[in-house]
Amino acid sequence: MILSLRLAWRNLWRHKRRTWLTALAMIFSNVLLIFMISLQFGSYDMMINNTLRAFSGEIQVQHEGYQQNPKLRSSIPAIIPLALELRSILPDAHIAARAAAFALVSSEQRSLGIQIVGVQPEYEPMVSTLPGMVREGRFLQDSNAAEIVIGRVLARNLKVSVGDELTLLGSGRDGSFAAGVVSITGVFDSGSSDLDRTLAEVPLGYFQDTFAMRDHGNAIVVAVDDLSAVPSALVAVQKEIRGKKGLTVLDWTQLQPGLKQAIQADMSSAWFMYGLLIILVAFSVLNTQLMSVLERTREFGVITALGIKPRKLASLVMLETALMALIGLVIGVAIGWMIASYLNIAGFHYPGMEEMAEKFNLPDRVYPSVTFFSMILGPGIVFLFSLLAGVYPSLRLFRLQPVEAMRAV
């Protein structure tokens, strides 16, 4: 160990209590930051997964402009062969074709305007959680059958149940009159009353026949196991459709811009709080280091008289600050990592969470995200601000006059 490092280390422990108090403030804030940030990232993962898994998936292939203006005519030709192609290049992803139109749906007593989505019954359960939320009856099975699954709120509004028939009225892709009679095979309860009131699913083959779509559809949904797999899947899909005119690929941030904005807004408010905590810690370090420099004025005066330049003294004080911050970082990260790792397995929940989770079909526990980034982000910033707090006491040493300093008591 070089002499400067030894000197800095021993200087730190001249006032053990003061050093430990400052280090403890850093440890506490690091543990708190790791806990909060990993919990935050964990809840974002949960929000994203649940939102995307409910319906939209992580990636979609659409006709250009369909996302902004979802018209039936903005369609993808030969959609099922294209979905097959994508399955061959992304064997680990789940892929399903869809088509969607707005239609008037009528029971014996009422008529309501809703969105009808044509889905592939064999693939849809793998890209969407909606089929798993069928609480009465069953999900669709035959791709050409005149069947429909509707939401609980829509069923209540239309006063229908499983086994009843509904009449669909709408416009076909070619402008023709689209009409059909479908039998209700299932009623789903997604937890979202909007979705349960306005959405119904029919088999894709039946949809194409009814809405004069021929082999067309409106979207191919790609669901991957992990958000980290999105970029590579996105590139692969983009490469595959490069030669196909009029098609575009959207990722989840484009499909669900509201979700991204909600996360960004939550991040901003959380970081405001984290910022306050970090500034408080930085002031604690500033106070400690300033006191440490002031009480050693005489000693620094002597050292300067021996021919040591202020730059060397300043780097010594910065080294002391860095060592203290390192103690806070290492111990804080170790404790924070242990807590986050435990909660990553056991989960974290607070009173009232079960009720909300059940309502929105979410898990009743949040699992903190234990990644290198979530572990080091907060403590890294605390470390950086602690170093910055050491700059002012260090700079004071450049103004030190040896004779005056040696007179200091």
Partner 1 sequence: MTAIKCIDLCKNFQQGDVVIKALNHVSLDIEEGSFICLSGPSGSGKTTLLNAIGGLDKLDSGEVYFNGRRVDQLGKGPMADLRLHYIGFVFQAYNLIPVLTAQENVEFVMQVQGVSVKERRRKSSAILEEVGLKGMENRRPSQLSGGQQQRVAVARAIVSQPKLVLADEPTANLDSETAAQLMDLLRELNQHHNVTFLIATHDERVMRYAQRLIRMQDGKIIADELQEAD
Stretch that binds partner 1, among 4-12, 71-79, 95-103, 188-196 (CB under 8 A): 4-12
Which CA distances in Å does 261 have to 40, 230, 250, 264, 322? Answer: 15, 19, 17, 5, 37
Q: How far apart are the first and last CA of the chain?
A: 31
Main-chain phi, psi angles of 272, to 5 degrees: -65, -45
HSE (side-chain half, CA atoms, 13 Å) at 349: 14
Q: Is 159 left (phi over 0), alpha (psi -120 to 50) or beta?
A: left
**Unique residue bearing structure tokens 């009856």:** 137
DSSP state of 56: I
Residues 225, 92: contact at Cβ < 8 Å? yes
Figure out which of the listed residues 91, 243, 258, 307 binds partner 1, where binding follows CB under 8 A. Answer: 307
Residue 263 or 318 having the CB closest to partner 1 = 318
Figure out which of the listed residues 292, 304, 374, 394 binds partner 1, where binding follows CB under 8 A. Answer: 304
Nearest distance in Å: CB 397, partner 1: 12
Nearest distance in Å: CB 351, partner 1: 52
Main-chain phi, psi angles of 296, to 5 degrees: -105, 20
Residue 210 or 304 having the CB closest to partner 1 = 304
Please give the Cα distance from 135 to 189 (Å, whole number): 6
Nearest distance in Å: CB 331, partner 1: 23
Q: Does 315 bind partner 1 (CB under 8 A)?
A: no
Residue 172 or 402 having the CB closest to partner 1 = 402
**Cβ within 8 Å of residue 16, ≥6 positions away:** none
Figure out which of the listed residues 11, 29, 208, 292 binds partner 1, where binding follows CB under 8 A. Answer: 11
Figure out which of the listed residues 84, 265, 291, 308 binds partner 1, where binding follows CB under 8 A. Answer: 308
Nearest distance in Å: CB 3, partner 1: 5
Stretch that binds partner 1, among 1-9, 106-114, 228-236, 245-253 (CB under 8 A): 1-9
Residues 176, 212: contact at Cβ < 8 Å? yes
Main-chain phi, psi angles of 213, to 5 degrees: -90, -10
Please, which residues bridge with residue 168 across strands?
105, 180
Figure out which of the listed residues 17, 242, 306, 352 binds partner 1, where binding follows CB under 8 A. Answer: 306
- Interface characters, 384-403, with partner 1 (x: CB under 8 A): ------------------xx
Q: Does 303 bind partner 1 (CB under 8 A)?
A: yes
Please, which residues bridge with residue 115 across strands?
102, 199
Q: How many residues at the interface with partner 1, by CB under 8 A? A: 23
Nearest distance in Å: CB 307, partner 1: 3
Figure out which of the listed residues 14, 110, 239, 359 binds partner 1, where binding follows CB under 8 A. Answer: 14
Beta strands in 40-197 (DSSP E): 59-63, 94-106, 111-119, 134-137, 147-151, 165-171, 177-188
Stretch that binds partner 1, among 2-10, 43-51, 126-134, 193-201 (CB under 8 A): 2-10
Q: Does 110 bind partner 1 (CB under 8 A)?
A: no
Q: Dig out the tokens for 297 from the structure.
A: 């004025």
Figure out which of the listed residues 136, 266, 299, 354 binds partner 1, where binding follows CB under 8 A. Answer: 299
Q: Interface residues for partner 1 in 39-78 (CB under 8 A)? A: none
Residue 312 or 359 having the CB closest to partner 1 = 312
Figure out which of the listed residues 183, 298, 342, 384 binds partner 1, where binding follows CB under 8 A. Answer: 298
Comparing CA positions, the residue from 347, 341, 386 lying closest to residue 367 is 347
Stretch that binds partner 1, among 175-183, 227-235, 281-289, 294-302 (CB under 8 A): 294-302
Q: Dig out the tokens for 289 from the structure.
A: 């280091």
Nearest distance in Å: CB 328, partner 1: 21
Residue 4 or 141 having the CB closest to partner 1 = 4
Residue-by-residue DSSP string for 362-393: --SSB-----HHHHHHHHHHHHHHHHHHTHHH
Nearest distance in Å: CB 293, partner 1: 15
Please give the Cα distance from 170 to 386 (Å, whole number): 65
Q: Given the rule CB under 8 A, which residues bind partner 1?
A: 2-4, 6-7, 10-11, 14, 298-299, 302-310, 312, 402-403, 406
